[in-house]
Chains A and B, each alone.
Chain A
Amino acid sequence: MSPAQWDLPPELCCRPMAFVALTGLDVVYNAVHRAIWDAFCANRRADRVPISFKVLPGDHEYPKCRTKRTSYEWYIPKGILKTGWMNKHLNLVPALVVLFYELDWDEPQWKEKQSECATKVEIVRTSLQGRNTKVAVVLIQKKTPLPPGEDVMASERAAALCNACDLSGKSLFVLPHTDHLVGYIIRLENAFYEHAQTYYYTEIRRVKSHKEFLNKTTHQLLFVRHQFKTAFFSELKQDTQNALKYYRAAYSLIHELRTHETNILEIKTMAGFINYKICRLCFQHNTPLDAIAQFRKHIDLCKKKIGSAELAFEHAAWMSKQFQYFGDLFDEAIKLGLTAIQTQNPGFYYQQAAHYAQERKRLAFQLCGGPEANLGYPAPDPLETPTGILDFYGQRAWRQGHQSIDPPDPEKEKGGILALQGREKEVPHSELIIALLSNAVAQFKKYKCPRMKSRLMVQMGEEYYHTKDYAKALKLLDYVMCDYRTERWWGLLTSILGTALRCSYLMAQVKDYVSYSMELVGRASMLREDQKSRIQKNVAKVLKNEPPEAEPDCDPSAVKAAQALWNERGSQASGEDLILEVQDSVPFVQCKARFLHPSFHLDVPVQLHVFLLTDSPHPVRFSKLCVSLSNQDYNQYCVVDSLGQAPAQEDMCLVPGRTHRYSFRFVARPEDVGKKIEITGVDLMLGSENGRCIFLNWRGGGGDAASSHEALQATRSFKRRGRLPENEVDWDTVSIQASTMIISRVPRISVQLHHEPPALNNEMYCMMVTIQSHEDIVARDLKLTAGLKPGQDANLSHTTHVTLDGSKMCDDSHRALLPDIPMGDLQPQEKMEKPLSIRCSTTGPRIFLVHVAYTVDTCIEGRDIVCKCHKDETVTIETVVPFEVAVKFVSTKFEHLEHVFVDVPFLLMTDILSMSPWPLHLVTSELQLAPTMAAVDQPASQVEEVVLQTGESASECFCLTCPPVHHGTTGVASGQYVMSWKRKSANATIPVVNTVITLPHVAVETIPLYVHADLPSFGRVRESLPVKYHIQNRTAIVQEVEMSVEPSDAFMFSGLKQVRLRILPGTEQDMLYNFYPLMAGYQMLPLLNINLLRLPAVSGQLLRRFLPSRIFIKVTFNGPANSGIETAAKLACWLHLHLFLEQMLFPM
């Protein structure tokens, strides 16, 4: 028996295909035959019929068919299935033998050839005596055959040939050797396939026919055998559905067999075969759940069928193989398109196979003894058989064919078992286990099971450890360790670390040994205190360059080798430095480093604390502690060692559970101002120069794989810890602060800003910067940076201008920020002032920055350094509009105008409303008229030197006319209104701000007739009041005008009461009336009606708007009432004013 005895035979695992033998082909020397053979067997794609072809010589001897049994009455079967049976039907007994023969229909020597062919057929037939194998003849012809029925000779000769060879017409084929060889071949093989199917069908019938002769008592094995054969033939026939049915039947029959120790192996072997076939077919039929169910059933049925206790490892081996083969089938099905899931994938089966392989190993060790145990192999090998192979599957070589309950010869049985045990010892169990585990790992990786993968890798590592391949073991264990560490499964981590420690001990790997030891001693380890103590003592030995004690449970021979290695290491490597990165593990010393503050001023020493805590059972002595900083110049100040400042000895010894603090301080360099100083690492040296030095290195400010979670839990916890002694620190309260900022010295100057916010739009806003020194020494190189703070809206920098020269208006050439204005030195307590002028041309808030920088020379801890200091002041200034200007057009009667008339005077009124919180000084104003406007008289500013308080307003009024415009123009520009102003509080040097207001456009209309009146400002009762009306024709044609004056109660009048007159183009007609007021007071003038006969659209109503409608009539004073005259004059004046106001307030 070979070590591969548990492997399934290849003929079971292959896909059975109909076997067709081809004879009469000389594939070596005959090119035509070679081509035919190639066409049969080369490039068989899936769409070709499943036939396995074989070329055999014409006189090949097929396996002899045994004489058919006529009765089973006295027949006792010796086993279930013969080992050669499957191979016989796959490769030896063909379903069809095809004889190839070169013969054309027009062959001249037809008779001779025909008989030769018949002879060859006869030879084949004789060889197949007793079998149902079909024979067919293929004639290889050089000529292309004619369509059937046309070649008379062909059909005649074909019939003759069939007759001579005793063939049916269906078994004779013609193969013309022409261009379309492959096409002919495919047609041929389809025909062969049909013949083969018929053959297998008859075989199935033949096997089934035995059934009636069988009885249940003696022929139980035959029931299984026949079902298996039927199923196998069905498979050959490619009838997989029926094959599955027969295999299932066979499977249930096999479990009906009586099992006892002597046949249990045979039953299991055959059950395994049949189960394999069933699962395979289920996967093939795409019913994976059936396959899984069958397999589970199989395992459940067979799990307990262990058989001989002395050969228990055989059962484990068999179980392992069952799982492995199912895994293979599953995996193969997946490759063909089946989808597996996380909880049902081949990995589980490989894992279980590995599990049984481990079990096998354990049992083998237990039953066969260790490698040194010698059982003595029996002298004539009981496992040898005369033929070298067994007759039946699953039987014992020393008692083949034996089917009764008890072994025939107990002595032989004993020898056989001994031989099997001896063989088992040769089996490389670990290799098998590792192969299976790695298969499983690959599967679990695919199906998202990282933890399962890790677990299997641990098992692989342990298996490698058992095979003494420590390097591989360590590699695997090291790889998965961090997964368990990040998941915080300390129990599992401890177990892995234990194995890893043994590996590193046995290889004498100092670095790994120390690193694993430190973690096993540390707080993440679940080891007992005494074990921790032992490991820590071993570490101490390593540090002294002595070999450590062996780990328990190590192989004694390996320990011996390891001790030699350790001694060798010890002699070579004195003073060797080992650097261990402990950040990613959980070592027995914890470290936290922190700067005392997140930032330090340059003139203050930087302070740094390193906290160390050990959780080992014994105190830990270290010989050096150093901190590396991002600027390495400072490293020299951050060292604790026995040479330097010679700290007390107890400081160098870490007591378990107590937090130790080490303080460092140093003065930062001025060039580091504004930079970050980071702790890049902390190194703790264990051991000594004359022994072995081991550096524990923490990157950054310390901490390890477990510390962040611990810190989090500590912050959550509200447990009150006991009060600690004065100089001790609670570890959990320490947080890591791995970086600090060096910032400049605190400035000791004051910067004050004097100004009057808000700023007014466009003014030169004054801000006085007052700098006063509170330094004890001279502040040198004072520099002022002032202006708009950078980083605000980009538009602000375009609309803000800053200057030191307040006497001139800023323009766009001035910048928004004035950098580094040199200010010279400042003596202690000296004060300095600097005026700034700012012009903001848009409204809204702005942040201004005043930055004063200077240098001072100071001395810190005996070191002279030049400190740069600076002081920043920022201020937000709002810019507001100083005043608003409203402009309106009114008629001379102060009536609101929608549009003005050409050459008719009107008024332009401006209202200036102060919005400024500060008094505004209006210096002057100016009206800049557009060419389309003309002033009636010389316009002069009426608001010159006016001061407006908040909310006050000032008005101006200008009388303007509009010269004629081009026909069709509707609106004309009016011009600009310029205000010149400044703050009332601004001194004389501050420039005046000119604010330009663009006047609105105004609509212009022409009028055909213009009327205006000349009349005194008042009249007196019973005194003549002359009134002259001017009527102007502004058209280019003669206008006929009808005029009438309506009578009035208040006036008598003389003049033309009703008249019709003509006015020439461009001329003016004057009408003079003498009104004679009858009543005093405010009187309506007699109404003047004007009608333009040619232009009825121009109504009197419109024209009347140009005329005054009322007049004030005074009382006449008769006689000596001089004193009264004055009063009356005053009254008149008052009334006049009243009139004026009335007209303004109530325009008609």
Chain B
Amino acid sequence: MMTMLGGEPFLLVSKQEQQNYPLYIRSVPSDSELKFHYTVHTSLDVVEEKVSAVGKVIVDQRELYLGLLYPTEDYKVYGYVTNSKVKFVIVVDSSNTSLRDNEIRSMFRKLHNSFTDVMCNPFYNPGDPIQSKVFDSMVSSMMVQTC
């Protein structure tokens, strides 16, 4: 399982300046870490499409969870986007059937809360890669739970 935050820091609100570089990326150590990075990067295609679709039809603005982004043979890729357009992506093994939509949702919520704490840190410069022990340990605990 891997988790990652990519997105524009909340100070940038303009759509033109929408950025998609990774703020935090973490995966279960494996040989195919690069492949995970590619998977997350390609999933941004769908995230962007979904985010722009939300802009067009004003659906429930508070729904941040984007759901399953796209199916692959081996992994399931889920997306979540905050109101400040910071994107969260979770990639899980397809064979892991214990994680259903609700579990993924709550994982995202936890991530979001923890991310909010990071942003509240006055010493954190929005847009810089996240280097927070608390955030790290939260992600680690989440990864331990699911593995």
Bound CA–CA A709/B128 (angstroms): 10
**Given known A455-B42, A712-B127, contact A491–B34 (CB-CB < 8 A):** yes
- Complex alpha-carbon distance, A713 and B125, angstroms: 7
**Given A488-B19, A492-B34, A492-B37, is A452 in contact with B127 using a C-beta cutoff of 8 Å?**
no
Supposing A343-B70, A717-B128, A719-B125 touch, asked if A488 and B42 sit within 8 A by C-beta, the answer is no
Tell me the bound Cα distance from A1082 to B37 in angstroms: 116
- Identify the stretch in B43-51, B110-118, B136-144 within 8 Å (CB) of chain A at 4 or more residues: B43-51
Determine the distance from Cα of A903 to Cα of B146 in the docked complex, in whole angstroms: 117
Q: Are B37 and A489 in contact (CB under 8 A)?
A: yes
Contact for A716 among B21, B46, B126, CB less than 8 A:
B126
Interface code A459-491, partner B: CB below 8 Å = 1, 0 otherwise?
A: 000000000000000000000000000011101
A489 in complex: contacting residue of B22, B45, B46, B70, CB < 8 Å: B22
B 8-34 binary contact with A (CB < 8 Å = 1; else 0): 000100000001111001000000001
Q: How far is the CA of A693 from the CA of B73 in the complex (A)?
A: 50
Does B45 lie within 8 Å of A352, measured CB to CB? no
- Residue A182 at the B interface, CB < 8 A? no
Q: Complex formed: what's the CA distance from A489 to B89 in Å?
A: 15
Q: Any chain A CB within 8 A of the CB of B91?
A: no
B42 and A451 within 8 A (CB): yes
The interface residues of chain A, by DSSP majority, are classed as helix
A452 & B73 in contact (Cβ 8 Å cutoff): no
**CA of A21 to CA of B59 in the docked complex: distance in angstroms?**
62
CB distance from A365 to the nearest CB of B (A): 17
A553 to chain B, nearest CB (A): 14
CA distance A718 to B126 in the complex (A): 11
CA separation between A448 and B51, bound complex, in Å? 14
Closest approach, in angstroms, between the C-beta of A343 and any C-beta of chain B? 4
A492–B46 touching, CB < 8 Å = no
A396 at the B interface (CB under 8 A): no
A647 within 8 A of B: no
Contact of B34 among A355, A495, A713 (CB under 8 A): A495
Q: Determine whether A246 belongs to the interface, using a CB cutoff of 8 Å to chain B.
A: no
What 0/1 readout, one digit per residue, does chain B (55-73) give for beta carbons within 8 Å of chain A? 0000000000000011111
A487-B73 CB under 8 A given contacts A450-B45, A451-B42, A713-B128: no
Whether B11 and A343, one on each chain, are in contact in the complex, defined by CB atoms closer than 8 angstroms, is no
CB distance from B15 to the nearest CB of A (A): 16
A489 contacts which chain B residues (CB < 8 A)?
Answer: 21-22, 37, 41
Among residues of A, the one whose C-beta sits closest to the C-beta of B19 is A488
* Whole-angstrom CA separation of A495 from B35 in the bound complex: 11
Identify which of B25, B42, B71, B123 gathers the most chain A CB atoms within 10 Å of its CB: B42
Choose one: B20, B69, B72, B125; the contact of A487 (CB below 8 Å). B20
In contact, B11 and A716 (Cβ under 8 angstroms): yes
A1095 on the B face (CB < 8 A): no
Known contacts A343-B69, A451-B45, A713-B128; is A488 also within 8 Å of B34 by CB? no
- Complex CA gap A718/B73 in Å reads 45
A residues less than 8 Å from B22 (CB atoms)? 488-489, 491
Q: Mark A110-146, 1 if CB is under 8 A from B, else 0.
A: 0000000000000000000000000000000000000
Partner of B125 from the list A299, A355, A709, A717 (CB cut-off 8 Å) is: A717
B37 adjacent to A449 (CB under 8 Å): no
Which range contains the number of A residues in contact with the other chain? 20 to 34
List residues of chain A with CB within 8 A of the CB of B42: 449, 451-452, 455
Q: How does the 8 Å CB contact mask read for A431-461 relative to B, with 1 for contact and 0 for none?
A: 0000000000000000011111001001000
The residue in chain A whose Cβ has the minimal distance to the Cβ of B127 is A713
**In the complex, which residues of chain A have a beta carbon less than 8 angstroms from the beta carbon of B44?**
451
Q: Is the CB of B49 within 8 A of A716?
A: no
Residues of chain B within 8 A (CB-CB) of A455 are 38, 41-42
Q: How far apart sit A343 and B72, CA to CA, in the bound complex (Å)?
A: 10
Cα separation A718 to B128 with both chains bound (whole Å): 12
- Chain B contacts of A449 at CB under 8 A? 42, 45-46
With A487-B20, A492-B38, A713-B128 already in contact, the answer to whether A719 and B49 are too (CB < 8 A) is: no
A487 near B41 with CB under 8 A, answer: yes
With an 8 Å Cβ cutoff, the count of chain B residues facing the other chain is 25
How far apart sit A488 and B37, CA to CA, in the bound complex (Å)? Answer: 13
Which residues does chain A contribute within 8 Å of B37, judged by CB atoms?
489, 491-492
Secondary structure of the B side of the interface?
Answer: mixed
Q: Does A348 touch B at the CB level, under 8 Å?
A: yes
- Partner of A355 from the list B25, B46, B49, B73 (CB cut-off 8 Å) is B73
Contact B128 A348 (CB under 8 A): no
**Residues of B with C-beta under 8 A to A487:** 19-21, 41
> How many angstroms between the C-alpha atoms of A849 and B127 in the bound complex?
51
Q: What chain B residues lie within 8 Å of A491 (beta carbons)?
A: 22, 25, 34, 37
- Please tell me if A342 contacts chain B, counting CB pairs below 8 Å: yes
Q: Which residues of the other chain, B, contact A492 by a CB distance below 8 angstroms?
A: 34, 37-38, 41
- By a CB distance below 8 angstroms, the chain A residues around B123 are 719
* In the complex, chain A residues 352-368 whose Cβ is within 8 Å of any chain B Cβ: 352, 355
Given A492-B37, A492-B38, A716-B11, A342 contacting B46 (CB threshold 8 A)? yes
Q: What mask results when residues 710 to 752 of chain A are scored 1 for a CB within 8 Å of chain B, else 0? A: 0011001111000000000000000000000000000000000
Q: Are A352 and B73 in contact (CB under 8 A)?
A: yes
Which A residue sits closest to B20, measured CB to CB? A487
* C-alpha gap A951/B79 in the complex (Å): 79
In the complex, what's the smallest C-beta–C-beta distance from B137 to chain A, in angstroms? Answer: 23
Flag if B46 contacts A343 (CB, 8 Å).
yes
**Residues of chain A within 8 A of B128, CB atoms compared:** 713, 717
Bound form: Cα–Cα A719–B125 in Å? 9
- Which residues from B are CB-within-8-Å of A709? 19, 127
Interchain CA distance A495-B123 in the complex, whole Å: 32
In the complex, which residues of chain A have a beta carbon less than 8 angstroms from the beta carbon of B38? 455, 458, 492
CA distance A875 to B126 in the complex (A): 49
Task: A202 to B34: give the CA distance in the assembly, Å.
Answer: 60
Q: How far is the CA of A448 from the CA of B46 in the complex (A)?
A: 9
Contact residues, B71-88 vs A (CB, 8 A):
71-73
- Which residues of chain B are near A495, meaning CB under 8 Å? 34
Min distance, Cβ A47 to any Cβ of chain B, angstroms:
39
| A451 and B128 alpha carbons, distance in the complex (Å) | 23
A500-539: CB near B (< 8 Å → 1, else 0) gives 0000000000000000000000000000000000000000
Measured CB to CB, the closest approach of chain B to A353, in angstroms, equals 11
A491 to B2 Cα, complex, angstroms: 15
Given contacts A342-B46, A449-B42, A495-B34, contact A716 B73 (CB under 8 A): no
A492's nearest neighbour on chain B, judged by CB, is B37
Which of B11, B20, B34, B70 contacts A348, CB < 8 Å? B70
A535 to B21, CA, bound (A): 26
Residue of B nearest to A718 (CB): B125
> Is the pair B45, A716 in contact by a Cβ cutoff of 8 Å?
no
CB-CB contacts of A312-343 with B at 8 A, as 1s and 0s? 00000000000000000000000000000011
Residues in B with CB closer than 8 Å to A718 are 125
Which residues of chain A (1077-1122) have a CB below 8 Å from chain B? none
CB A802 to nearest CB in B, in angstroms, measures: 50
Report Cα–Cα, A716/B11, bound state, in Å: 10
**Chain A residue at minimal CB-CB distance from B21:** A488
CA distance in complex: A448, B123 (Å): 38
Query: How far apart are the CA atoms of A133 and B29 in the complex, in Å?
Result: 67
B45: chain A residues within 8 A (beta carbon): 342, 448-452
- The interface residues of chain A lying within 8 Å CB-to-CB of B127 are 709, 712-713, 716
Nearest chain A CB to B53 CB, angstrom units: 10
The 10 nearest A-B residue pairs measured at CB: A488-B21, A449-B45, A717-B125, A452-B42, A343-B70, A451-B42, A451-B45, A455-B38, A455-B42, A713-B127
- Can you name 12 A-B residue pairings with CB atoms under 8 Å? A343-B70, A348-B71, A352-B73, A449-B46, A451-B41, A451-B42, A458-B38, A487-B21, A487-B41, A489-B22, A491-B22, A719-B125
User: Known pairs A342-B70, A355-B73, A451-B42. 19 more at Cβ < 8 A?
Assistant: A342-B46, A343-B46, A348-B70, A352-B73, A449-B42, A451-B45, A488-B20, A488-B21, A489-B37, A489-B41, A491-B22, A491-B25, A491-B34, A491-B37, A492-B41, A709-B19, A712-B127, A716-B11, A716-B126
